[in-house]
Chain A
């Protein structure tokens, strides 16, 4: 595997990074951001959508902040797995990501902006040529989606990050910055239901940091991850739950690795709460209703029918855990 050539930019301040991005945009040259590189660089080696320019965030000072209320985009996952005063739910999820080696490089920013994944997409170039490419990496052919053929409007590649759902149930906000300035929005509004656009980041913008409210520290949570092996594997399904202990009205559930985006499920929770909270019976009903709205497709290693069934079990376990 040979890395395709690209020009690497190493800004040292956020302003410089935005400047470089702005300049490249002006010139009409395509680029990617790189943080830890554990997601982007393997894809580059496979020649999946490589760009002529890569802007690294690694040398920007002050982007690796780590506290109960703020996590900078360059904070490494290995630092999130230690007792660094951050929320235990984030620690739990971060320590389940990939392997200890990868966690030493991988960052929170990269994890949240993880590229969506698919059996037909995360493959070498020769392999993708043999299927005549796909919608997400069409190499200029306008190829169809290989998971659900005869539709080439939407990409159904799966978002397989572990940390996003936990941050969602902790009401995290993300700070996005770019040549156009800074904007702040809830993480639950960050993702966009398309495996290609993935999220609301505009070209030239990057995720600067994640902030958590005072309120979030009061929450207790649990993250349940489905995977075949206890190392390396991306989640095949993941459910995070949190509440302020004893107050069912604060219950929040989010799922990941089941669709193109991680999702919060306020409607399902609200529907259950409307009928009155009734302990384990409500948990079971809630688990069932979340299972119903999830629509996984056949593009990861376990079959979608199974993953869907597991949403029920994982939801039940996550809520059970926080009720303990």
Chain B
């Protein structure tokens, strides 16, 4: 299709609505480009770049728009992160390393109650204490803030009520820490204790005093913060399944466990501007929130991102303590530093939601997946945070990588009187992914087929569309599955190992950047902007707002600029700490940074390159089309002896205007469906991964030891393979923690029992298996040099791979995460009771005898492999939508082809009685529908 690329068939004539708005998902798209001002891919000239400079490096998936920018300098080469020297020598400055002259110490008074109304706060005794310089309470800033504009429900300090133990009540700044601590004991607070709710199931019911009140949008009098219903596809397919699986999961909340506790320093400088130092993943949102809370314009605030000692999503909200420091500093006229103790870190939380997840799935007689039914009740704790998005992600991120006959999701997030849950590595996708992948294994078992073949025969191809309308571009899922199967020697091990030894598979699918920015219309502002400045010395300064939280975003930016300009990475200096000098970047979340920010950086670098080549044209007399920029030199393509040095060309280019300055931006192309919630989970590209894990289970104690992991991740193109491997191994570690030992324990009184790193059990080096990272490069057409994310997606598959391996080892399905030894032991005890065995050492191991379906699957997978190859290399550019596997024509709207095809975002009245646990939220009405608040 020469016109390029179709998001979804149909409607080629009417690409706009009557009101002028676009009809998302219906229009023909131009071929994928890198967004920005040149969204279209240029003509492909593979001979353009000489082989000697990396032009003919293997292209796993055909040519790429950035091929023209390749110089073979640094992309694809393993290199240590550019800030690693600062870190390993202890010179990196983290939040608590900032020391300003005359600083004072801030401390926060925290709620001792789960849920209480503040009747009064008397601060007179605090103020009278010598050494106290400022005191603040909720009354000092009544403005609400929150990371998402739709759910601003936080205050700097509690305004009316405290919502969990550890919630902020007041704060104090004093000359030293001991005075500040002493001052905390002098607050006189009068409380009215309210009835707390801890169980998320109770949160679905009406309460006397809901934790927040949303006015006319409040759902009855419940504690439901967000409910979601989504249904796509042909629901009649699930009615007579050939095979099915059904599992109810209980997943504990987990915390990011980053090394550096939160710390902030605020200082109102002599010009009356706020300078705020904070280890933030998302400095821009903090910037906005500070402006709101403090009632000062954004340009009067400079947010300085310090080095971040690990974030993983836990430092991506604007935080109340940041507001407290600013308020105390304004009051005291001194710089104020607040550093958290570890228990405070757990109280601010924002970790992964404790979840109740139910997954039903069905397959037809051809082992095609006819339906996914997911119900997810997630425990949000006291505040909304990112929860609005999490509520969607728990469902919609399960719509790939498999082709589905139908999809049904009900989700609800409820407030409880616990520390707030939020975004954590693999945001919203991890728990459901685990449930879905284990369900697939169970279904494979009932059909007596190999679970890898079941997956291989049901994958969506590259350049296709999911059932929910996500645009899939590059897709390395098949290769990932094949590689781990081969690497792990799967065919010789699966269902053949002795009792206590097991092997399991799991897959993952994750967004590479959120397709829509949170705060603005993507048509008006880009997602990411990068400025480049090159002065006489030849060094390149790159200004970006991207927050390096250890994932290596600064290195990625330096690498792509180095690649385009053919300069060593040491000549690229990335400045990314201050909002005063950085162009706005949305921050490090949703695995967007490499994809969006590096794309913007490439664009800015290309502009500099163009100017250098034009200058060389002036000097050499050869048109830039015939010039090659490489190795700090620009030379004539056909006679490299004719050339000019990089510095000479640079100085020539500077003659008129001085330093070269350019700006590059990235915005994602329009995409996705138009239904409510269509934007959630939308991304310009998606990563795919597949892991095989091997475990040893001690059947007498229930102890699990994960011994080996083969981890294949499709990151499009590994800009820095060393960093990608690091992310894969790190993800394994974090995911293993969640599946084996990490757990936020809430005791019988609702208190968080283990807010410390001894009792919150992050795996140690002894628990780490041997991880074999396998990088899959599917070369994404829109990614920078083909790259996609590698920071979050690699976490997803390890959980189901381990759970499936445990089943392979002992034949018991466990759905209560983490699989601590007591959980496993209980499962073994139960099985023994039901069987004739007394000794767990006599338990039978599961075995597999292939049914005739296996041959069908293998044949289909083989066909699909050929199909996928052609599509990945863009030899076949015909449209493909989810549903083709079920016999639908991708050129016609699916609704026109089958009567029952649904795209619904609200349940039908007759469905109401059949909805799952979270679905019960749909039995309630909003206040405005109840005749309450209007």
In the complex formed, the residue of A with least CB distance to B110 is: A126
A-contacting 9-mer, from B210-218, B329-337, B619-627, B817-825: B817-825
Taken together as a complex, chains A and B put the C-alpha atoms of A186 and B419 apart, in Å, by 48
B contact patch SS: loop
Interface residue from B343, B766, B825 paired with A127 (Cβ < 8 Å): B343
Asked if B754 and A231 sit within 8 Å, CB to CB, the answer is no
**Chain B residue with minimal CB distance to A301?**
B759
Q: What is the bound-complex CA distance between A226 and B741, given in angstroms?
A: 14
Instruction: Please give the distance in Å from A235's CB to the nearest CB on chain B.
Output: 13
Q: Is the CB of A302 within 8 A of B753?
A: no
**Which residues in A have their C-beta under 8 angstroms from that of B761?**
228-229, 233, 301
Q: Which of the segments A214-222, A243-251, A306-314 contacts the partner chain?
A: A306-314
For chain B, residues 65 to 123, give those with C-beta under 8 angstroms from any C-beta of chain A: 110-113
Q: Does B747 contact A (CB under 8 A)?
A: yes
Nearest CB in chain A to that of B740: its residue: A228
CB distance from B633 to the nearest CB of A (A): 52
Please, which residue of chain A has its CB at the minimum distance from the CB of B114? A130
Contact partners of B36 in chain A: CB under 8 A = none
Which residues from 365 to 412 on chain B have a C-beta closer than 8 Å to any C-beta of chain A?
none
B766 touches A313 (CB 8 A): no
Residues of chain A lying within 8 A (CB to CB) of residue B764: 99, 229-232
Q: Which residues of A contact B763 (CB under 8 A)?
A: 229
Given the contacts A119-B747, A302-B822, A306-B825, A231 and B765 also touching, CB distance less than 8 Å = yes
Given contacts A127-B751, A131-B749, A230-B767, contact A306 B343 (CB under 8 A): no
| Chain B residues with CB under 8 A of A226 | 701, 821
Tell me whether B178 and A2 are in contact (CB under 8 A). yes
Interface contact B751-A229, CB-CB below 8 Å? no
Q: Does A124 contact B (CB under 8 A)?
A: yes
Q: Nearest Cβ in chain A — how far from B556, in angstroms?
A: 33
Q: Which of A112-149 contact B (CB under 8 A)?
A: 119, 122-124, 126-127, 129-132, 146
B758 close to A (CB within 8 Å):
yes
Is A1 in contact with chain B by the CB < 8 A criterion? yes
Taken together as a complex, chains A and B put the C-alpha atoms of A122 and B756 apart, in Å, by 10
Give, as a whole number of angstroms, the nearest-CB distance from A232 to chain B: 6
Which chain A residues numbered 64 to 115 have a C-beta less than 8 Å away from chain B? 99
| Residues of B contacting A131 in the complex (Cβ-Cβ under 8 angstroms) | 749, 751
A119 engages B754 (CB within 8 Å): yes
A62 within 8 A of B: no
Q: Which residues of the partner chain A approach B700 to less than 8 Å between Cβ atoms?
A: 313
> Interface majority SS on A: helix, strand, loop or mixed?
loop
Q: Are B751 and A306 in contact (CB under 8 A)?
A: no
B343 touches A310 (CB 8 A): no
With both beta carbons as reference points, the residue of chain A lying nearest to B105 in the complex is identified as: A2
Q: Is A303 an interface residue (CB 8 A)?
A: yes
- Residues from chain B with Cβ under 8 Å of A146 in the complex: 749
Q: A230-B764, A301-B759, A310-B701 are in contact. Are A129 and B821 (CB under 8 A)?
A: no
> How far, in whole Å, are A226 and B701 apart by their CA atoms in the complex?
9
Contact present for B821 and A306 (CB under 8 Å): yes
A1 touching B341, Cβ below 8 Å = yes
B177 at the interface (CB under 8 A from A): yes
- Across the interface, which residues of B come within 8 angstroms of A228, CB to CB? 741, 761, 820-821
The interface residues of chain A lying within 8 Å CB-to-CB of B754 are: 119, 301
The smallest beta-carbon distance between B382 and chain A, in angstroms, is 14
Residue of B nearest to A132 (CB): B112
Contact B766 A130 (CB under 8 A): no
Residues on the A chain within 8 Å of B435, using CB = none
Contacts of B755 in A (CB 8 A): 123-124, 127
Q: Are B766 and A231 in contact (CB under 8 A)?
A: yes
In angstroms, Cα B166 to Cα A124, docked, is 12
Within 8 Å of chain A (Cβ to Cβ): is B165?
A: yes
Contact (Cβ within 8 A) B753 A119: yes
* Residue pair A124, B766 in contact (C-beta under 8 Å): no
Report Cα–Cα, A228/B764, bound state, in Å: 10
Question: Which residues of chain B are near A2, meaning CB under 8 Å?
Answer: 177-178, 181
Name which residue of chain A comes closest to B823, CB basis: A306
Smallest CB gap from B818: residue in A:
A228
Determine which residue in B753, B766, B767, B826 has the highest number of CB atoms from chain A within 10 A of its CB, and name it. Answer: B753
Q: How far is the CA of A1 from the CA of B178 in the complex (A)?
A: 10
Chain B contacts of A124 at CB under 8 A? 341, 343, 755
Q: In the assembled complex, how far is the CB of residue A54 from the closest CB belonging to chain B, in whole angstroms?
A: 18
Minimal beta-carbon separation of A227 from chain B (angstroms): 9
Q: How far is the CA of A226 from the CA of B821 in the complex (A)?
A: 10
Contact with A along B735-756 (1 / 0, CB 8 A): 0000001000101010101111
Task: A90 to B495: give the CA distance in the assembly, Å.
Answer: 42
Say whether, besides A2-B178, A306-B825, A123 and B343 are in contact (CB < 8 Å): yes
Against A, the Cβ 8 Å flags (1 = close, 0 = not) of B761-780 are 10111110000000000000
Q: Which of A301, A303, A310, A313 has the most CB of B within 10 A?
A: A301
| B contact residues around A122 at 8 Å (CB) | 756
Contact A229 B747, CB 8 Å, known A2-B177, A302-B820, A302-B822: no
- Complex CA gap A305/B112 in Å reads 31
Compute how far the CA of A270 lies from the CA of B728 in the bound complex, rounded to whole angstroms. Answer: 55
**Chain A positions within 8 Å of B113 at CB level:** 130
For B822, list chain A residues within 8 Å (CB): 302-303, 305-306
Q: Which residues from chain A contact B701 at a C-beta distance below 8 Å?
A: 226, 310, 313
Contact across chains for B767 and A229 when beta carbons are under 8 A apart: yes
**Complex Cα spacing A127 to B766, Å:** 31
- Nearest to B341 among chain A residues (CB) is A1
From the candidates A230, A302, A303, name the one contacting B766 in the complex (CB within 8 A): A230
Q: Which of B177, B751, B767, B821 interacts with A302 by CB under 8 Å?
A: B821
B113, B745, B756, B758: most-surrounded residue (chain A CB, <10 A): B758
Chain A nearest CB from B131 CB (Å) reads: 14
In the complex, what's the smallest C-beta–C-beta distance from A119 to chain B, in angstroms?
5
Task: List the A residue with the shortest CB-CB distance to B765.
Answer: A231
Bound together, the chains give a CA A230 to CA B766 distance in angstroms of 6
Task: Give min CB distance, B441 to chain A, whole Å.
Answer: 26
CB-defined contacts of B178 to chain A, threshold 8 Å: 2
CB distance from A154 to the nearest CB of B (A): 20
Closest beta carbon of chain B to A179's beta carbon, Å: 33
Decide: B759 and A126 in contact? CB cutoff 8 A: no
Q: B745 — nearest CB in chain A belongs to which residue?
A: A301
Chain A residues whose C-beta falls within 8 Å of the C-beta of B110 in the assembled complex: 126
Known: A119-B747, A302-B822, A310-B701. A229 touches B341 (CB 8 A): no
Bound CA–CA A131/B809 (angstroms): 42
Once the chains are docked, how many angstroms separate the CA of A238 from the CA of B831? 26
> Smallest Cβ distance from A50 to chain B, in angstroms?
13
A residues within 8 A CB of B181? 2
Scoring B166, B763, B825 by chain A CB atoms within 10 A of each residue's CB, the highest score goes to B825
Smallest CB–CB gap between B101 and chain A, Å? Answer: 22
Contacts of A309 in B (CB 8 A): 825
* Shortest CB distance B840–A (Å): 10
With contacts A124-B343, A229-B761, A230-B766 taken as known, whether A130 is within 8 angstroms of B177 at the C-beta atoms is no
A119 contact set on B, CB distance < 8 A: 747, 753-754, 759
Question: How distant is B324 from chain A, measured CB to nearest CB, in Å?
Answer: 16
Within 8 A of A (CB), among B688-703: 700-702
Give the Cβ gap from A98 to chain B, nearest Cβ, in Å. Answer: 10
Instruction: Please name all residues of chain A whose beta carbon is closer than 8 Å to the beta carbon of B759 when the two chains form the complex.
Output: 119, 301
A119-B747, A126-B112 known; A232+B758 contact, CB < 8 A: yes
Minimum CB–CB distance from A11 to chain B (whole Å) comes to 28
A303: chain B residues within 8 A (beta carbon): 822
Distance from A255 Cβ to chain B, minimum over Cβ atoms (Å): 16
Whether the Cβ atoms of B343 and A126 lie closer than 8 Å is: yes
**Nearest 4 A-B pairs (CB), nearest first?**
A230-B766, A306-B822, A231-B764, A130-B112
Could you list some 19 contacts between A and B, CB below 8 A?
A119-B747, A119-B754, A126-B110, A126-B112, A127-B165, A127-B343, A130-B751, A131-B751, A226-B701, A228-B741, A229-B767, A230-B764, A232-B758, A232-B764, A301-B754, A302-B822, A306-B702, A306-B821, A309-B825
- 6 extra interface residue pairs, beta carbon distance < 8 Å, beyond A122-B756, A124-B343, A126-B112: A2-B181, A119-B759, A127-B165, A127-B343, A226-B821, A305-B822
